[in-house]
Amino acid sequence: MAKTVLITGASSGFGKETAKLFQQNGWNVVATMRAPEKEDELTKLENVLVTHLDVQDLESIQQAVKAGVERFGHLDALVNNAGYGLMGVFESASREQIQKQYAVNVFGLMDVTQAVLPYLRANGGGTIINISSFGGVVALPFGGFYSSTKFAVEGFSESLSHELAKLNIAVKIVEPGAVHTNFRNGLELIKNDIAEYNPLMTAFFQRYDQPTQHLAKATAEDVATTIYQAATDGKAQLRYVVGEDAQFYIDAKKENSQEDFVKLVRDWFIN
């Protein structure tokens, strides 16, 4: 019997490439997105159900999971991919902007996971794959909103991996680097009217690529391949890093003292 995966945020980027890769490898795919009526590629593939899911809408989550089980009979894996980035000066952010970042990247991910877990238990096991970022390990300037949500995803995933181990449900974290998808196009920048921060922001965005410009960046296909590997390798491995730039930042944090790493980041982007 073919296995079934449910993927959030499958309309583009990592999500779409992951949906195509699982389908090519014989899986049933529940490809969820906010606007399924706009999708014209995944709908043409066999054993793919394209359906509505907005991670901020609990009813849509429950309906999407129900539709996937009704179509394919069971669920074996979940890929929590939906999310977006909010960047800018913390002091300038509105409460609504901060809450929305958490509603999508953290609470939405938790709601989808909670909706899927009963089916994984009924199935006798499965895999949950949460898409984090190198920004879930290393926090750079002006990325505190996004990074803090990904830090939350990392902590939640690590704890949940222990909680579900005896139920034969694996939890994995995928940490991509700066992959060129529509993540950057969809990046929300906070309007800043506080003059003192302007030179700091200018310096950061001018230098952002400099520490890793010599390193190869992963593609969306690379991330999809890693997600598929995490779902199928049968390992107790928790974290999967994708991209030399992501590995660069993670290694820099691990291999330096706290004082030295703080100095590195500030020399790269602030001083």
Contact 37, 111 (CB under 8 A): no
Active-site residue identified among 150, 157, 240, 249: 150
Q: Which of 132, 133, 147, 148 is catalytic?
A: 132
State the pLDDT at residue 181: 52
Catalytic residue among 11, 16, 119, 146: 146
Q: Which residue has the tokens 């709601």?
A: 111
Amino acid present at 33: M
- pLDDT tier at 1 (50, 70, 90 boundaries)? confident
pLDDT value for 22: 98
Instruction: Parse the chain into domains and list their residue ranges.
Output: 4-194+217-243
Q: What is the mean pLDDT of the chain?
A: 96
What is the rounded average pLDDT of the residues 241-266? 97
CB 104 within 8 A of CB 83: yes
Annotated catalytic residue 132: yes
Does residue 150 contact residue 136 with C-beta atoms inside 8 Å? yes
Q: Does position 220 have pLDDT exceeding 60, yes or no?
A: yes
**Are the beta carbons of 2 and 47 closer than 8 angstroms?**
yes
pTM for this prediction: 0.96
146 is catalytic: yes
Tens digit of each residue's pLDDT (9 = 90 or more) over 42-87:
999 999 999 999 999 999 999 999 999 999 999 999 999 999 999 9
Taking a C-beta distance cutoff of 8 angstroms, is the pair 65, 119 a contact? yes
Question: What fold characterizes domain 4-194+217-243?
Answer: Rossmann fold (3.40.50)
Confidence of residue 195 (pLDDT cuts 50, 70, 90): very high
Each residue of 132-189: pLDDT tens digit? Answer: 999 999 999 999 999 999 999 999 999 999 999 999 999 999 999 987 655 555 689 9
Indicate if 150 belongs to the active site: yes
